[in-house]
Amino acid sequence: MSKAGVINGAILQFDGVSKSFGGLQAINHLSFDVREGEILGLIGPNGAGKTTIFNLITGVYHPDQGKIRFQNTEITGWQPHRVVNAGIARTFQIPRPFHHKTITKNVEIALIPNAILSHGLSKQERSDTVSQLCAKVSVCKIFGTEGCHLIEDGFCDCMFEFPSALPHAALRNLEIAKAMATKPNLLLLDEPFAGLTMSEVDDMSALLRTMKQEGRTQIVVDHNMRGLMRLVDRVVVINFGQKLAEGTPEEIAKNPAVQEAYLSGSSN
């Protein structure tokens, strides 16, 4: 998936970004790079500004200062949908399915093109893509033959089932299916392990690794340090909106500044 023109292997550059809300400096002159093909862990105590970083990258907030570049294109100040269509997708900390639409439609929504008169994918292509994605995130496993049915290996159709029927872990998977439907090169995962059991964490990690093998770069924010540290290639530690440390999981685990921040800050 290597894109031409990506310098130093950095797919995303967060360059001297600041953002404040009222008097609160949420992000303070923060810089870091995300390398092509890696899974980057973004950790820090509660309120360190991790979700704000996601909101800045995806255009929900606009930085007060600094630049954000994606595949060498500056995306600072872009509207969220434009960022998504440039190849950055996200999941939300608390899953946000479209409650009134079936699971199939939930995923299909992410396939809608913005050119109102263009056709985009054909109906068949759309429904194939959706059912492949549903199968990939194992939504069908939950239902057996009712509502969602496995058409064949690798295809799963959920045209009669609503998100409210899904247990928590499957809602997180649905979020990922929605994000994947936008064909992202970079995936931002906001606490993908929150509320999952140990075995579900393992399943989720396996899914994220598979996506990494397919060439999707990922940034993962999570409090579950054990799950996260086994998954990620590199870690950036944020505290009070600034970068505290950066390195491999092993380096970070040994870093005294990080230990200090975590011991004095939150109990994670």
Partner 1 sequence: MILKRARTLTWVSAAIILISLGFLILVPQLFVGNSFLISTFVFANIYSILAMSWDLLSGYTGQISFGHSFFFGIGAYTSALLSMHLGWSPLYTIPLGGVMASLGGLLVATPALRLRGPYLSLITLVSALGIDQLIRVLKLGSTGAEGAIQCEIDLATGVNHCVPPISANEVEVYYFALGLMVCIAIFLIFLVRSRIGLAFEAIRDDEEAAEAAGIDAKKYKILAFMISGFLAGLAGAVMVHKMQQASPGLVLDLNISIEAIVASVLGGMGTILGPVGGAYFYILIRELLRPFGQWRLFAVFVIALLILLFIPRGVLAEIRLRLMHWIKSEKPKEPQQGARA
Shortest distance, CB of residue 42 to partner 1, whole angstroms? 18
Q: Which is nearer to partner 1, 46 or 114 (CB)?
A: 114
**Residue among 44, 45, 63, 163 that touches partner 1 (CB under 8 A):** 163
Q: Which is nearer to partner 1, 60 or 245 (CB)?
A: 60
Stretch that binds partner 1, among 74-82, 128-136, 206-214, 236-244 (CB under 8 A): 74-82
Q: Is 160 in the site for partner 1 (CB under 8 A)?
A: yes
The CA distance from 91 to 88, in Å, is 10
Residues contacting partner 1: total by CB under 8 A: 39
**247 and 255 Cβ atoms separated by less than 8 Å:** yes
* 2-31: contacts with partner 1 (CB under 8 A): none
Q: Which of 46, 43, 52, 49 lies closest to 249, judged by CA?
A: 43
> Residue 122 is which amino acid?
S
Structure tokens at 202: 């393992």
Element (H, E) at 263: helix 256-264
Stretch that binds partner 1, among 15-23, 178-186, 219-227, 252-260 (CB under 8 A): 178-186
> Residue 256 is which amino acid?
P
φ and ψ of 56, to 5 deg: -75, -45
* 86-145: contacts with partner 1 (CB under 8 A): 89-90, 92, 96-101, 105, 108-114, 116, 120
**108 and 126 Cβ atoms separated by less than 8 Å:** yes
Structure tokens at 24: 């609160």
Q: Is 178 in the site for partner 1 (CB under 8 A)?
A: yes
**Residue among 13, 182, 217, 239 that touches partner 1 (CB under 8 A):** 182
The CA distance from 150 to 162, in Å, is 16
Tokens 């996260």 belong to residue: 228
Residues in contact with partner 1 by the rule CB under 8 A: 58, 60, 79-82, 84-85, 89-90, 92, 96-101, 105, 108-114, 116, 120, 146-147, 149, 160, 162-165, 178-179, 181-182
